[in-house]
Amino acid sequence: MQYIFRFLVVFWVFSCPVFADDTSEGPKSEVATAPAVVEPTLTEEEIKAAEEKQKQQNAVDSLASTQQALEEKIKEQTQLQRQVKAADATQKPELQAQLDKLNAEIKNLKTTFEQVAIGGISLESFGQAEKEFDWKEELVLITQPVLESLKDLTEKPRKTERLRSIITDRTLQGKEIERAILSVQSRIAANPPKTLLPALKETLESWQSKKKDNQREIELAQFQLESLLGNNEPWYESFTASMKSFLGGRGTTLFIAGVASFLVWLAMKGILWLLLFRKRKSSGEQQKPQTRYRVALYLYKILTSLLIVIAVVVVLYVRGDLLLLALMIIVIIGMMLALRELLPRYVNEARALLNMGTLREGERVFYNGVPWQVTHINVHTIFRNPELFGVLRVPLSEVVNLNSRPLSRDEAWFPSEKGDFLLMPDGAVAEVLSQTPENVELKSRGGMRLTYPTHSMYEMEFYNLTRGGSYGVASTFGIDYSHIGESLTEVPEKFKDYVAEGFRSAGLGEHVLEILVDFKTANSSSLDYLIYVTMHSRIASSYFKIERVIQQSCVKACNENNWNIPFPQLTLHKAD
């Protein structure tokens, strides 16, 4: 209706006649013509005032019709009360039911009159009896501010949806009532017997009364809906107002709580720094007992957290923000309940965090088949191996049952390191390219690459030619039995001289540490000598070349000294 009224006002403004000046050339009268009067255009405030006036008039009309209906119902109530008093026992229950229904209608009309009079304001918060809570509900009483805030956020949409639902339902009921009235009227128009006519007329009056009541409920719901929607503001104004309200209220509270928390944290940090500074200054060293230090550190963290929580609660209490205070208390209670359930299950973890368990910082531990140094114990414990590139971050739950031990002096962490040359079990020589906590990558002769899991590499049996500073190469060489006379004197000395000369010719002489030539065994076909050469680790990559040089030097000695190299022989003795 307000939009129709606004359209009529605008139409009247633009259709209003405008009086122009008289510009005719006729004789002027004694009285000068008045200037044209232009009706001013109505402003937005005037339009709103007119709409408000029309709304007030509609409300007055609704009040008048409601009052008239209320007076009629009161008259019917008086007559029905008389009938109830004069009725016998068989008619009294039916009349009493009609009276109860009429009393409910009168109450509804009074509520409707009051609602229209007060402008559709909700009366849900008035006249409510105090609700009794049992001891269980008292335990959750603290959550009421949270629930009330959530309820306030959805109050307007819920009211709007409820009023629209009422209008829809009553409109459908109105259609059914109209059909019922038409049916009764058709029955009356069909000239029924005179005995049925009074009952049909009474039924018609009853349904017509229902129609009026239904229409009044629709009008009331529409009036309340218009009042509710009429309070809508542009989104930017609503957003600005909400931001101002938040910054002036709850935002300020949160800011003060944050500042208080920061000041408490800063004060505790300053106290800790002063204590550590005085301790270092007095002792002159930075070493600290691990267990006592960690216990004190975690107690300090717990105390700091507790003081911050107390500061926040005090700020919320002083500021009177029940919602934030309730949320804070709910969080605290939830954390306490969680700790009560979790702490017994994590006793070992707590001991490990305090460096009081079977795993200690700075000690050596075996994990996944590889030795590690426990660098730091925390929620994720840090394991480090000096020979491997990278660290392991292991969950605390996986390491609480491990046993560590103090480090020994000059204890090896891994049998190889990057750049070492290894003599593998299959006889190949490989260079270590990289070592990580997961894999060890090797490069063999010809550039072929091999990858082994780190724990398998740690358990593998191989020779490290690089580590230790030196390595030895053993070789066996045999000569014929015809030289048995000089086999223990001249032959070993010449073999040694020729091997040394062979290494000098090969450019490896400076890396030779020792050459050992000794008679080994009198074999079935030859006299065998052991040639063992100790080389510097700098030329570990020449392992196979060294063995070849030894054999070449021994063959050269045989050629120049006319020593025979025997073939495998088989001697047969023939019986006479």
pLDDT in tens, 182-192: 888 887 887 77
pLDDT of amino acid 230? 59
Between 136 and 380, whose confidence is greater? 380
Residue 224 pLDDT more than 90? no
Task: Provide the 3-class DSSP secondary structure of residue 435.
Answer: strand
Give yes or no for residue 68 having a pLDDT over 50: yes
Round to whole Å and give the CA distance between 345 and 400: 12
Task: State the average pLDDT over residues 257-279.
Answer: 85
Question: What Å distances lie between residue 545 and 167, 420, 541, CA to CA?
Answer: 103, 18, 9
Confirm if 407 and 396 have CB atoms less than 8 A apart: no
Q: Is the pLDDT of residue 10 over 80?
A: no
pLDDT at 135 over 60: no
Helix axes of 144-153 and 322-342: crossing angle, nearest 10 degrees: 130
* Among 63-67, 102-106, 470-474, the range of highest mean pLDDT: 470-474
In the predicted model, is pLDDT for residue 440 greater than 90?
yes
**Does residue 247 have a pLDDT over 80?**
no
Among 217-226, 254-263, 521-530, the minimum mean pLDDT is found in 217-226
Helix crossing, 92-118 with 44-86: angle to 10°? 160
Helix %, strand %, coil % for the chain, to 5? 60, 15, 30
The predicted pLDDT at position 6 comes to: 44
First CA to last CA distance, the chain: 149
Identify which has the larger pLDDT, 281 or 378: 378
Residue 285 pLDDT > 60: no
* CA separation for the pair 465, 543 (Å, rounded): 9
DSSP 8-state symbol, 33: P
Mean pLDDT over the full length of the chain: 79
How do the domains of the chain map onto residue ranges?
A: 50-122+154-229, 244-351, 421-464, 470-560
Instruction: Tell me how far apart the alpha carbons of residues 447 and 438 are, in angstroms, rounded to a whole number.
Output: 22
Q: Is the pLDDT of residue 497 over 50?
A: yes
Return the pLDDT at 4: 41
Greater pLDDT, 82 or 265: 265
- Which stretch of 33-42, 50-59, 341-350, 387-396 has the lowest confidence by average pLDDT? 33-42
Q: State what percent of residues in the chain have pLDDT above 70.
A: 79
Return the pLDDT at 140: 59
Q: Return the top range by mean pLDDT from 276-285, 393-402, 470-479.
A: 470-479
Q: Is the pLDDT of residue 388 over 80?
A: yes
Higher per-residue confidence, 66 vs 370 = 370
Q: Worst-scoring range by mean pLDDT, 109-123, 328-342, 418-432?
A: 109-123
Q: Quick one: average pLDDT of 474-500?
A: 90
CB 451 within 8 A of CB 440: yes
Mean pLDDT of 7-16: 39
| 235 — pLDDT class (breaks 50, 70, 90) | low
- Given a cut of 70, is residue 289 above it in pLDDT? no
- pLDDT-derived band at 239, boundaries 50, 70, 90: low
Taking residues 267-275, what's their average pLDDT?
85
pLDDT at 502 over 90: yes
Residue 102 has, within 13 A of its CA and on its CB side, a CA count of 21
| C-alpha pair distances (Å), 199 with each of 22, 188, 209, 425 | 74, 10, 15, 116
Percent of the chain scoring above 90 in pLDDT: 21
Q: What is the mean pLDDT of residues 101-126?
A: 71
pTM: 0.48
Token duo for residue 81: 């009360």
Identify the band that residue 24 occupies on the pLDDT scale cut at 50, 70 and 90.
very low
Mean pLDDT to the nearest integer, 38-63? 71
- pLDDT score of 5: 41
CA distance 378 to 249: 41
Task: Please state, in angstroms and rounded to a whole number, the distance separating the CA atoms of residues 417 and 457.
Answer: 11
CA distances (Å), origin 119, targets 63, 79, 105, 122, 476: 11, 33, 21, 9, 118
In this prediction, residue 499 carries a pLDDT of 93
pLDDT-derived band at 146 (thresholds 50, 70, 90) equals low
- pLDDT-derived band at 129 (thresholds 50, 70, 90) equals very low
Question: 536 has which bridge partners?
Answer: 470
pLDDT of residue 278: 67
Q: Which pLDDT band, with edges at 50, 70 and 90, does 531 fall under?
A: very high
Using 50, 70 and 90 to split pLDDT, how confident is the model at 29? very low
- As a whole number, mean pLDDT of residues 298-311 equals 88
Note the pLDDT of residue 25.
37
Residue 28 burial class via C-beta count within 10 angstroms: exposed 0-12, middle 13-18, buried 19 and up:
exposed
Class of domain 470-560: alpha beta
* 129-138, 298-307, 545-554: least confident range: 129-138
What single DSSP character describes residue 138? H
Q: Cα dihedral sign for 483, 487, 492, 497? A: negative
Amino acid at 355: N
Task: Report the candidate in 348, 468, 338, 376 with the shortest Cα–Cα distance to residue 415.
Answer: 468
